[in-house]
Structure 1
């Protein structure tokens, strides 16, 4: 498909294959998104120019979608977290996704298979705010048939080194 057609149709060229150096760079940036080009180059044993070019290629290919900060939700005033499962009306995923994305505290939205259709991670100030979010915002959506709320008691972010 010509490039101008891909741009208008929304299709993207597939990412180029990754080698061991690319994977090492990705692993390092997942652990420390603020790592300098110099430190990346030294760690994976390539020149700074090569590391810079590889990182830019990974960004251009859409392998690296962005850089972000890992937030301690409780310290940031979001003391209640929950996974909410939703059963939704068939073929309403795009509409539901847009509505969920607009919710305050929505952190992750996934279309899944199994006993429910959508898995939503939310962070709220407290349980009262969580209750209001579920009962007055999510369950009020016409496309939502049912919900189940799973409170998060403790979590570990694997990108912080808690997974190894």
Structure 2
């Protein structure tokens, strides 16, 4: 869901500039930040064996190139009062992805939105207070979007956040 820049007045998206190639140090920095997004520049520099200035410049370049899209907290949704989680699939009217995406982005319950291939078009991960709130989300909010043709809800019984375990880059 990278934000698209609009060309001057044309309404046409401007493609993101190509990211510069990553070297081993860049990949090591990404691994460290995936494990601990709050790591200090000093700590990162020490662990990848570069100066603080070099680590700072590399992290800024990774942000500028949109390799790093942001930093955030991983939330235990149940402890935060969101006891119901679900993946919801949507079938949408052809060529309406951008319109639907903008409406889905405004849903505070949505934590991930993806355009996918297969038997459905969109996959959304949502977290709600309880099943009653989940039902309201599906029946009132999602199914009222004109471009949504159908929905299917997959209730999550248990989940594990793997973001702390960085994949090999």
Pick which of 6-15 and 71-80 moved more: 6-15
- Pick the aligned partner of 1:29 from 26, 33, 38: 33
**Structure 1 residues 109 and 68: alpha-carbon distance in aligned structure 2, compared to 1, 3 A threshold:** same
Distance 1:102 1:138 in 2: 11
**Structure 1 residues 23 and 7: alpha-carbon distance in aligned structure 2, compared to 1, 3 A threshold:** farther
Q: Secondary structure at the match of 1:157?
A: coil
2:95 paired residue number = 91
Do 1:81 and 1:121's aligned partners in 2 also have CA atoms closer than 8 Å? yes
Distance 1:123 1:132 in 2: 12
- Pick the aligned partner of 1:17 from 16, 21, 25: 21
Distance 2:77 2:101 in 1: 22
2:124 paired residue number = 120
1:55-70 matched pairs, under 5 angstroms: 55-70=59-74
Distance 2:59 2:85 in 1: 33
Pick which of 94-103 and 119-128 moved more: 94-103
For the pair 1:136 / 2:121, whether they are aligned, the reply is: no
Deviation at 1:161, TM superposition (A): 3.7
1:80 paired residue number = 84
Distance 1:12 1:124 in 2: 33
What count of residue pairs does the alignment treat as equivalent? 159
Distance 2:15 2:144 in 1: 34
Q: Secondary structure at the match of 2:81?
A: coil
1:153 paired residue number = 157
Q: Hey, which bits of structure 1, 4+ residues long, moved more than 6 A?
A: none
Q: Which runs of 5+ in 1 are unaligned?
A: 1-5
TM-score, normalised to structure 2's length?
0.88
For the pair 1:105 / 2:109, whether they are aligned, the reply is: yes
Distance 1:138 1:156 in 2: 26
Do 1:156 and 1:162's aligned partners in 2 also have CA atoms closer than 8 Å? no
Do 2:91 and 2:148's aligned partners in 1 also have CA atoms closer than 8 Å? yes
For each residue in 1:45-64, what CA deviation from the matched residue of structure 2 results, as whole angstroms up to 9, or x when unmatched?
11111111100111111111
